[in-house]
């Protein structure tokens, strides 16, 4: 009868729906597992790149113990930094531009402002801690010192403090 055919079709569709739901659940679990595996491998690969830097820093620390020439130790540390810069470049790590550039709150944190006439207001005068981009994404903002105009608008505040004072 038509009713029995409809019930059989309904049961078949229900079974198919349950199989699709189970397949989707398995796919979701597999995807999560694969993403975690890729994440783990990425961390391992990055650490493999960084470990030689740590090895060289340990060698430099050992060499400093009996070092009589500061220049040799300094050169060793600079070599380690160059090694880091090479690895950073391969990984897509770039420093955030700072000194001489205008302050940009999207990639700089102002640690302090310093009154000066030597730099335009908003210009970065010093880098306290470097910032980095990984590709186009900001990994860590740079901590900087930013120029601001000197306070005071009177003649005395605007003139250099050489003890002469304003002419009367």
pTM, whole model, 2 decimals?
A: 0.62
Q: From the CB of residue 142, how many other CB atoms can be counted at a distance below 10 Å? A: 25
Q: Which helix (H) or strand (E) holds 139?
A: strand 137-140
The string of pLDDT tens digits covering residues 25-62 is 999 999 999 999 999 999 898 888 889 888 888 887 77
**Dihedral of the CA atoms 87, 57, 144, 96 (nearest 10)?**
0
The string of pLDDT tens digits covering residues 6-16 is 999 999 999 99
């Amino acid at each position: 009868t038509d009713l029995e055919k409809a019930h059989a079709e309904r049961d078949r569709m229900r079974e198919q729906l349950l199989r699709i739901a189970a397949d989707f659940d398995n796919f979701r679990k597999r995807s999560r597992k694969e993403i975690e595996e890729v994440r783990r491998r990425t961390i391992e690969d990055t650490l493999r790149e960084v470990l030689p830097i740590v090895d060289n820093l340990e060698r430099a620390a050992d060499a400093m113990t009996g070092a009589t020439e500061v220049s040799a130790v300094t050169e060793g540390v600079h070599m380690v930094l160059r090694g880091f810069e090479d690895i950073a470049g391969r990984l897509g790590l770039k420093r955030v531009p700072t000194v001489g550039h205008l302050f940009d709150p999207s990639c700089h944190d102002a640690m302090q402002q310093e009154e000066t006439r030597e730099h335009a207001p908003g210009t970065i005068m010093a880098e306290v801690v470097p910032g980095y981009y990984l590709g186009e994404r900001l990994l860590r903002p740079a901590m900087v010192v930013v120029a601001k105009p000197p306070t005071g608008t009177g003649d005395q505040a605007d003139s250099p403090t050489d003890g002469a004072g304003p002419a009367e």
